[in-house]
Structure 1
Amino acid sequence: MEFFQTTEATTGEARVFNALREAFRQDEGLCFLRYPFFETRGRFRHEPDILMLHRDLGLLIIEVKDLQARHVSRMEGHTWHMADWHKGIEEPYAQAEAQIWSALKRFNSVPLLHDRLKHHALVALPNVPRAEWAAKGFTLLPCNPAILHKDELGPVTLRRRLGDFAGTAGRSRLTNEEWQKARAVLGFGTVIEQIQKRGGFAGTAARVAASETRIAALDLEQVSIGVEIPPGPQRIRGIAGSGKTMLLAIKAARMHLAHPDWDIAFTFNTKSLYQVIQSYITELCRYLGDSEPNWRKLRVMHAWGGRTTGPGLYYVTAQAMGRKARTSNDFKGTTISENLAVACRELLELGRVPELFDAVLVDEGQDLLSDFYRLAYAVLKAPKRLIWAYDEAQSLDHLTIPTSENLFGRGPDGKLLVDVAGQYPGGIYKSRIMRRCYRTPRQILLAAHAVGMGLLRPEGPVQAITTKSGWQDIGYSVETGGFASPGAEVVLVRSMANSGHPLDSLPMPRRPLLRSQGFADREAEFEACARCVQEQVRTGVRAEQIMVVHLGFKDELQRLAGRLSEAGVVVHSTEENPREFRRAGAVTVTGVHRAKGNESRVVFVTGLDCVERVEGEVVNRNHLFVALTRSRQECIVSGVSTRSRRLLHELETLHRMGDRVVFLAPDPKRLKRSLEDEPSPGVPSDPPRPQESPVRASVADDERFRTHLPLYDVRAAAGPWGAGRVVEQEVDGWVDATAIGALSTDMFAVRVAGKSMEPQIADGSIAVFRHLRDSVPEGKIVLVQQLQADHESVAVVVKRLARSVSGYRLESLNPLYSPLAFDPFSEKEPVRLLGVYLGVVPPARS
């Protein structure tokens, strides 16, 4: 079973959630702490504390109350009268029951699932033993609901109790097809399918649209990214077609429904995205909360704002500061992004920027410069929920990659001003990577990355990733070769696991999905494009699902639109209405800037020679990458032959290579841009140094490995080699580790002594680790056991495991300490891996 904590949890919620994880981890199902199915009671919307979908037990909603038995004075029906409590009345069972019916409405809307799910509403009292509840006489009342008590959270008892509840439902186990449909409901498959139907799929595209609901439900990592609300900044790096805009829309809708009083801004760079984003959020609010979005509180706005775009984030901030908003014409920068950055810098230099928003979500983050991000951060109220999504390969105007260091810089102490490494308490990651592509078939995506970076250029790539881990971050694997020696052959493949498009699982079609052709001149190219568009419409493709992207100047774009119209094709030009990208019954004709963020089933890319004129420049290669990756099924590329020979040859070579790319490892010094990412987001960062101990000498059995972990008296020496204390396998207490997230029996804690891992792990910190299995966690912080010089005693140390030219090395974060060569596969190695680092336990609250 997969478990997802989507927001901060109370102590009781964490205890119940961890107990479910311990008891059902081997079962088939999904369990969410706060899944955003909202039911409305009075003026408030409520979402389930815990929602569990189990293959055998069905759907369970659990309402958790952190109360003691003394807080409930009497019960009348399902109304609990409270004493010494923050509310006079509680109705936990009625609330859980309302939520179960609200959730069932979504499942029952799927014909195959109508009235098929077992379901049960429960109340959990993780602080109240069953005997104490019974002593008050509550178990004798006819209205006593199904309750999980403190002493019923052990794995065996908990499984039996939930089995007893579900056993009364009288429905059989879900079939495989029913189970996939049920998962799709929680994977937003139903609402995504609805959006796609309105998008105009028809003819042979029906098999694509019909498959995508199943795909969406299976990608649980995407679901967890979408529904989680981080308590601070979060960075989302995703390849083209991975669903960044949809996931930001899910986040925005979820925050809006859960916190209707919040002021939320969803901002972006491409004007034509207004229509897409507003439609996504509208459908999501209807699906999750049976309500329409309040656009006064959830504002979809352009990054800049202006006459054709309406209010933007910069424009609204300038107004709030009593300043006249500037326009791009007021500046002399070479790009709109640079002009916007100057405008934002002016406001920042004035100081006293008002805090206008509770959350700001930024789509197309690669197209916005650091001064815009700093302004967006400044207008946020604490805890500064700035969430930005980007794909550096789609940057059309500049080469800055929106990492936290590039955007916000470092303070005088050298620390990042906005740190997005590690996790927040509860387990929500500050950075996320989306490797799986849904929009573009693998054949097209592979070629787009290769030609976008220039991997086949005789002179070498213009931009590239130069590590195996870097390629893995965007969903590729290096089949053979490496990057240690420039000029060495590298074979790159894209795995099926990261290829979410339905066509990727089907036999290769007879006609390639990506085709290229050269013509004698532009008129011949436009004439051929018009004929091909007509042919697509005749074969059943709806006109609004065809996009023509021209890579040349606006005057040629107008000529292209005119030629299509002369051929009888109904045309919608984005130059005429930049806020509307698509119109029913019309083929969209657009430049690459307004195409970005949008998609169509069939994409024609014209003017390839306009890129070849300056093919050695990163931005121009990125233009081609963006154009290619707008395609959901087919992409036809063309240009003037005599001026497109190099790029046509690259595309033809990629076609012959099939499902892999063979190229020569680049020399990093010769690249115009490196696409390497920030340090791994899986490594938590800069925890505060403990000031008082959160350790207890002993805890109850039901707290062990659910809320507390054993602390071993190892005192891992995060210092010079050989300075660690000899290992003593004795438990030195139990530490409250709920801040780490869901706990398990393969986790433990040790106290770190020394400064070699500072600033990330402070001297005296209590660090949590998970026992290593068979893998070698390259790039991670690990706990290792070192054989001492006497070959009898051992010391335990904390280091980072890094790849070196000759193998591996164990290194410190503090540069004052030297690394050590290490071979994890050698039986004679005096150093043994014990565990991988998960985080630091925060100090106990006073």
Structure 2
Amino acid sequence: MAYMIPETLPKKCTAGERLFFHTLKDHLPDDYIVYYEPEIGGRKPDYVVIGPDLGMLVLEIKDYTESTLYELFPNEWRIYNTQGELNTVKNPLHQARDNAFRIADKLKKDKNLLQTGAFHGHLKFRFGYGVVFTRLKEMHIVKHELHRVIEPQFMLTRDDIDAEDDDVSGDALIERLLGMFTVPFRSEQLLSDADIKAIRYHLFPEVRISAEFKEPVYYNDQLLLSLHNLQAMDLHQESLARQLGDKNRLIRGVAGSGKTLILSARARMLAKDHPHWKILVLCYGISLSCVLRSMIDNMMEEPEDLFDFVQINSEQEDAGKLKKHHIETSTFHEWLWHTMRIKDDAIDNLLQKIDQKEAILPKYDAILIDEGQDFEPAWLELLSKVLNPDTQSLLLVEDKAQNIFKRKTSLAASTGLDFRGRSKILSINYRNTAQIVNFAWDFYRTYSSLRDRVKEGTTVEGVEIIPPQSTKRKGPDPVIQACKSFDEEAAWVAENILKLHREHKVAFSDIAILYRVKNRYSYSYIDQLKKELNKHGIPFNWFAESNATKRSYDRDQATVKISTVDSSKGLDFKAVFIVNVESMPFSLEENVEQEVSRFYIAMTRAMYWLYLSYSKPQGFAAWLLEKSDQTVSLPLQRS
């Protein structure tokens, strides 16, 4: 079964298009990817099929009937439209061929996708093109002599794609698709996973996460890119980002599943498709809002064609960027104050004025909310009032397991929007290693009062926790350290940071220290940490010190980040140290469930290395003591 992007077709599709869609899905191999109407370089070919042993195939779909056809010439056709009027159109095979060559020319700019040796400059894989007539059978092709204007090998008819026909099979379909290529397949043309990722990276900007750019080279006066260590959305994330469609949508996902990435990509798509829309992106934490703003700005500034990016940067810095976008990114409270000039204790009064038509409100064509589980019902109700009722474009992403505030929300009651059948689930954790995922989830299942409400399948309005599925990425086990005092903890943290930096080349910017309580009585945990870091010459930034420092958060600053657990929501680091674990659950916190979520959040900030330390075996540290008795912590491993 092929991987279809999007997973389902829009309602506007014809019966013939749906028939062909399901035929491809059911009969092509699992490692084939089928894109329906992807936008590539300002055009939308009907289908692009990519397969390791296939290469790339571009297909044009036509729902023509016998009565549609009037005069057929090699370059142009005269056909009747739905109103019975004669129109002149391009030969559909020429449409498919032009799209195929445009895509091929785009991909040829990446030298990693080119052949070497005698065929240097040519793509390392085959590309072909063809036409699918969903309502014309072989007898119609013969009767109207379509073979005069399209060679039979480049055509699929109703007889080839109708699953109810006994002659239609996976092998027969693939044989017909292979016939659309003008060159034979050679074993060296087999596409690797890296090749397919590179193709997706170039053709679909919305899937890009990061890449290493090598110095461009010239070949026959053409500037060629060289990309390494490509990071892109996986197919499930890409499909979800594309399939969100219009109006209100809900995404529920586990920590590290790429919710923020999908939200940012969605904001970019909306801004691109609707350049005049006013778009609002909100979250709860200040530091996360900085990350969101930077991610969206980078996506908006990056051109569709990375070749243009290289040319622009080589000629004129900051030139050629996309036009200034209309995406406003903020925390909810900052937006509330700057836009409404009120604090959240005045929201109920404002809602009453809105009901009485005594308030003037701004209007947003789309609103996207990250960490939606932290939004109170009144906040969501207010946001529903400033959402354009004609678009109803509200995207809410959340993870109930990360709900650290005492808020119960009925989305339908708060927003007036029905999310039934409009929700998607992300259950795969891409951020953490399997060791960290299993460790954190084991804790959550042990302590959470909601453990009996963990479900594989979820409903929209119920309180549900999605169990994470880890990726195959492996790493060292979490390291647990019992100390005699916090002074010893701080020294242990500093020593291990230096070890990571020197032996494993981990940048200081990729390391974070998280805490729940910053001081007690006359003792300051933060001061002791700062003292030890200074002693070892380790640069640091306590960005959670104040709202001002949170607003200046810079993920790439060459410093170890010191933060509360709350301010680390939505962030991630290669290595995370959680200190003073015995301070959780915090004695002044009445709701222990929130403390369980906090500790779970803290652990899942770590991408590869997780360190946990305590000086008293109480609170959650008692669980660490039990875990350390069961397992032996592994020494640092090289990544």
Match of 1:31 in 2: 34
In structure 2, relative to structure 1, the CA distance for the partners of 1:70 and 1:376 (3 Å cut) is farther
Identify the match of residue 452 of structure 2 among 466, 473, 481. 466
Secondary structure at 1:537's aligned position in 2? helix
**Counterpart of 2:165?**
none
Match of 1:52 among 33, 49, 68: 49
Matched residues, percent identical? 18
**What code does the residue aligned with 1:296 have?**
H
Counterpart position of 1:502:
473
Aligned to 1:375: 382
The structure where strand makes up a greater share of residues is: 1
Structure 2 alignment gaps of length 5 or more: 116-122, 163-167, 214-227, 309-320, 459-466, 633-639
- Measure how far apart 1:68 and its partner are: 4.3
Verify: 1:296 aligned to 2:296, yes or no: no
Distance 2:375 2:424 in 1: 19
**How far, CA to CA, are the matches of 2:71 and 2:507 in structure 1?**
64
- Residue 446, structure 1, aligned to residue 438, structure 2: yes
CA drift of 1:657 comes to 4.5
What are the superposed Cα offsets for residues 320-343 of structure 1, whole Å, 9 maximum, x if unpaired?
Answer: xxxx43145xx3xxxxxxx7x658
The AA in structure 1 aligned to 2:538 is V
CA contact (8 A) 1:262 1:358 kept: yes
SS at match of 1:466: helix
**Equivalent-residue separation in structure 1 for 2:563 and 2:592 (angstroms):** 22
Tell me the amino acid that sits aligned with residue 549 of structure 1: L
Q: Secondary structure at the match of 1:651?
A: helix
Superposition deviation, residue 601 in structure 1: 0.4
Measured in 1, the distance between the counterparts of 2:575 and 2:532 equals 19
Q: Give the match for residue 502 of structure 2.
A: 538
- Residue 160 of structure 1 and its aligned partner are, at CA, apart by 4.2
In the alignment, residue 431 of structure 1 is paired with which amino acid?
S
Amino acid at match of 1:100: A
**What does residue range 71-220 of structure 1 map to in structure 2 within 5 Å?**
71=68, 78-80=75-77, 83-84=80-81, 90-91=89-90, 92-93=92-93, 95-101=95-101, 103-104=103-104, 105-106=106-107, 109=110, 111=112, 115-129=123-137, 131-132=139-140, 139-141=147-149, 146-154=154-162, 155-156=168-169, 158-166=173-181, 168-173=182-187, 178-185=191-198, 195=210, 217=234, 220=235
Q: Distance in 1 between matches of 2:478 and 2:623?
A: 16
Distance 1:471 1:188, change over 3 A: farther
Tell me what 1:265 maps to.
280
Distance 1:259 1:451, change over 3 A: same
> What corresponds to 2:514 in structure 1?
549
Q: Deviations over 1:51-106 (max 9, x none)?
A: 22133332122232444455565567655555546996644555544543454445
The Cα shift of 1:391 comes to: 1.1
Contact 1:451 1:651 in 2 (8 A): no
Match of 2:412 in 1: 408
Other-structure match for 1:822: none
Query: Which of 584, 598, 610 is residue 623 of structure 1 equivalent to?
Result: 598
Give the Å deviation of 1:162: 1.7
In structure 1, the residue corresponding to 2:286 is in which secondary structure? coil
Q: Is the 8 A contact 1:56 1:174 kept in 2?
A: no
- Post-superposition Cα deviations, 1:295-339, rounded to whole Å, max 9, x if no partner, equal 534x14124263xxxxx3x568x5xxxxx43145xx3xxxxxxx7
Do the aligned partners of 1:195 and 1:283 also contact (CA within 8 Å) in 2?
A: no
* TM-score, normalised relative to structure 1: 0.58
Q: State the match for 1:434 in structure 2.
A: 426
Q: Which residue of 1 aligns with 2:373?
A: 366
What amino acid does structure 2 have at the position aligned with 1:396? I
The CA deviation at 1:293 is: 5.2
From 476, 481, 485, the counterpart of 1:520 = 485
Alpha-carbon displacement from aligned partner over 1:476-516 (angstroms, at most 9, x marks no partner): xxxxxxxxxxxxxxxxxx89xx2115216xxxx4xx33323
Q: In structure 2, how many angstroms separate the alpha carbons of the residues matched to 1:357 and 1:80?
A: 45
Which deviates more from structure 2 when the two are superposed, residues 540-549 or residues 123-132? 123-132
More helix by share: 2
Q: 1:406-461: CA deviations, max 9, x gaps? A: 12239xxxxx9543333xxxxxxx222222111122322333234346x2xxxxx4
Tell me the equivalent position of 2:558: 585
CA deviations on 1:496-544 (whole Å, 9 max, x unpaired) are xx2115216xxxx4xx3332333424x4433333333223222211111
1:638 maps onto 2:613 in alignment: yes
SS at match of 2:125: coil
Q: Which whole-Å CA distance do the structure 2 matches of 1:51 and 1:259 have between them?
A: 24
Q: Shift in Å at residue 629 of structure 1?
A: 0.9
| 8 Å Cα contact 1:550-1:606 kept in structure 2 | yes
CA contact (8 A) 1:366 1:391 kept: yes
Structural RMSD (CA): 4.1
Q: Distance in 2 between matches of 1:390 and 1:121?
A: 42
Q: What CA deviation, in whole Å up to 9, does each residue of 1:256-308 have, x standing for no partner?
A: 444545544333222223453345446656476669555534x14124263xx
1:113 CA drift (Å): 6.4
Q: Is the contact between residue 551 and residue 592 of structure 1 (CA under 8 Å) also seen in structure 2?
A: yes
2:291 counterpart SS class? helix
For residues 757-785 of structure 1, what are the alpha-carbon distances to aligned partners after superposition, in whole Å with 9 as ceiling and x for unaligned? xxxxxxxxxxxxxxxxxxxxxxxxxxxxx
2: CA distance, partners of 1:473 / 1:357:
32
Aligned to 1:719: none
Cα distance 1:442–1:153, how it changes in 2: closer, same or farther (>3 A)?
closer
SS of corresponding position for 1:267: strand
> Aligned to 1:569, what secondary structure does the other structure show?
coil
- One-letter amino acid of the counterpart of residue 112, structure 2: P
Farther off after superposition, 607-616 or 363-372: 607-616
TM norm structure 2: 0.75
**1:649 Cα deviation (Å)?**
2.2
Specify the code of the residue in structure 1 equivalent to 2:418: D
Give, in whole Å, the separation in 2 of the partners of 1:294 and 1:66.
38
CA distance in 2, matches of 1:397, 1:183: 42
Q: Aligned AA for 1:373?
A: L
Gaps of 5+ in 1: 41-45, 199-209, 307-311, 319-323, 332-338, 411-415, 423-429, 456-460, 475-493, 660-846
In structure 1, the residue matched to 2:342 is: 326
Post-superposition Cα deviations, 1:812-841, rounded to whole Å, max 9, x if no partner, equal xxxxxxxxxxxxxxxxxxxxxxxxxxxxxx
Could you tell me how far 1:187 is from its partner in structure 2?
A: 6.7
Distance in 1, Cα, partners of 2:176 & 2:56:
15
Distance 1:142 1:364, change over 3 A: closer
Is 2:574 aligned against 1:571? no
3-state SS in 2 of match to 1:432: strand
SS at match of 1:117: coil
